Amino acid sequence: MQILVTGGAGYIGSHAVRLFLERGHDVWVYDSLVYGHRAAVPADRLIVGDLNETHRIDQVLLEKRIDAVVHFAAFTYVGESVQQPAKYWQNNVVNTLNLLECLRRHNVQRFVFSSTAATFGTPEKMPITEESPQKPINPYGMTKLTVEKALADYSQAYQWGFAALRYFNASGAHPSGAIGEDHTPETHLIPLIIYAAMGKRPHIEIFGTDYPTPDGTCVRDYIHVDDLAEAHLLALEKLQPGQQMHYNLGIGRGYSVREVIAAVEQVTGKKVPVKEGPRRAGDPPVLVASSDKIQKDLGWKPRYTDIKAIVETAWNWHRAHPKGYKGN
């Protein structure tokens, strides 16, 4: 399959690109490198461009004879989306519509969309299933849900096959340690704890210790980035014209902030300095996915279901690349 991966030089995208290539697909990466990293993907597969450059996209679709797209390119900082909603609506929605129109012109009808658990907002029941109400509480979640709805319209009108994959807390790194997580700024818990263990941060702050959870800290569902990549490929390979897939991706159990800190201490052999602070507004006590539907429909199964195993892959990456991709 000739696959175009937008945002393919980013964290999750680069892992998907690696897997697609390993499985024998012909893959092209289209990335602005605003947040992505040139070193995360093979140089001969990277096309640097922005989604508002529709003439470039048209050219790529034609020259590379693309027949499927996996769309990771998006801005993903929840807090920033509240402060700068225009930036998120322009990039995540308007630019995605630009992309969809390019695909329509070139009759590319197979599309896998990187969506998010943020489309569910603050759910009332756990675990979160595909039938749980989608009520985003920030512009980031709303932009992703808007694209899901646009894809449903395109599918119905133009017989596109699409999959919207809503993932929970992406984590870990490729077991080789060759690629991994490198965000600026970094907001994900596991790398932040690892930075504190390495002495790159003075401490890790726990936001809230009085939640109605076993140890009082927030519980989240951590899914390994390679398991996410596998789900994208399965969806891509099984999509049929006019088919609409919606799947939640998690391991089906949660780990608390204190449990993740303990796992990092076990894996690294280093004590993590901790500072306890008040709750953050908008942080639900527990967010856990049910991924029964994708397991039943596509045969997907997460290989990493233990937080220690996930942390080990992240530690391999950070230990080998203490400066991230800048050290490459």
Among 203, 233, 249, the domain-final residue is 249
**154 catalytic per annotation:** no
pLDDT of residue 263: 98
Examine the domain organization and report whether 39 and 95 are in the same domain: yes
Is residue 175 domain-resident? Answer: no
Is residue 179 domain-resident? Answer: no
Across the chain, mean pLDDT equals 97
Is residue 54 domain-resident? Answer: yes
Structurally, the chain folds into a number of domains equal to 2
| Host domain of residue 207 | 189-221+252-327
Examine the domain organization and report whether 156 and 195 are in the same domain: no
Examine the domain organization and report whether 26 and 161 are in the same domain: yes
Examine the domain organization and report whether 95 and 33 are in the same domain: yes
Examine the domain organization and report whether 81 and 209 are in the same domain: no
Q: Which one of the listed residues 11, 140, 167, 211 is annotated catalytic?
A: 140
Is residue 181 domain-resident? Answer: no
Is residue 184 domain-resident? Answer: no
Examine the domain organization and report whether 142 and 266 are in the same domain: no
Examine the domain organization and report whether 291 and 149 are in the same domain: no
Please state the three-class secondary structure of the chain as a single string.
CEEEEECCCCHHHHHHHHHHHHCCCEEEEEECCCCCCHHHCCHHHEEECCCCCHHHHHHHHHHCCCCEEEECCCCCCHHHHHHCHHHHHHHHHHHHHHHHHHHHHCCCCEEEEEEEHHHHCCCCCCCECCCCCCCCCCHHHHHHHHHHHHHHHHHHHHCCEEEEEEECEEECCCCCCCCCCCCCCCCCHHHHHHHHHHCCCCCEEEECCCCCCCCCCCEECEEEHHHHHHHHHHHHHHCCCCCEEEEEECCCCCEEHHHHHHHHHHHHCCCCCEEEECCCCCCCCEECECCHHHHHHHCCCCCCCCHHHHHHHHHHHHHHCCCHHHHC
* Pair 188, 169: CB distance under 8 Å: yes
Is residue 291 domain-resident? Answer: yes
Could you report the per-residue pLDDT of 93-143, keeping only the tens digit for each? 999 999 999 999 999 999 999 999 999 999 989 999 999 999 999 999 999
Examine the domain organization and report whether 56 and 92 are in the same domain: yes
Examine the domain organization and report whether 229 and 265 are in the same domain: no
pLDDT at residue 203 above 80? yes
Region 244-254: what's the mean pLDDT? 98
Is residue 182 domain-resident? Answer: no
pLDDT of residue 51: 97
CATH of the domain at 284: 3.90.25.10
Is residue 285 domain-resident? Answer: yes
Band of residue 168 on the pLDDT scale cut at 50, 70, 90: very high
Band of residue 268 on the pLDDT scale cut at 50, 70, 90: very high
Examine the domain organization and report whether 154 and 297 are in the same domain: no
pLDDT at residue 291 above 90? yes
Region 46-56: what's the mean pLDDT? 97
Examine the domain organization and report whether 113 and 216 are in the same domain: no
pLDDT at residue 253 above 70? yes
Examine the domain organization and report whether 269 and 290 are in the same domain: yes
pLDDT of residue 140: 97
CATH of the domain at 106: 3.40.50.720
pLDDT at residue 328 above 80? no
pLDDT of residue 281: 86
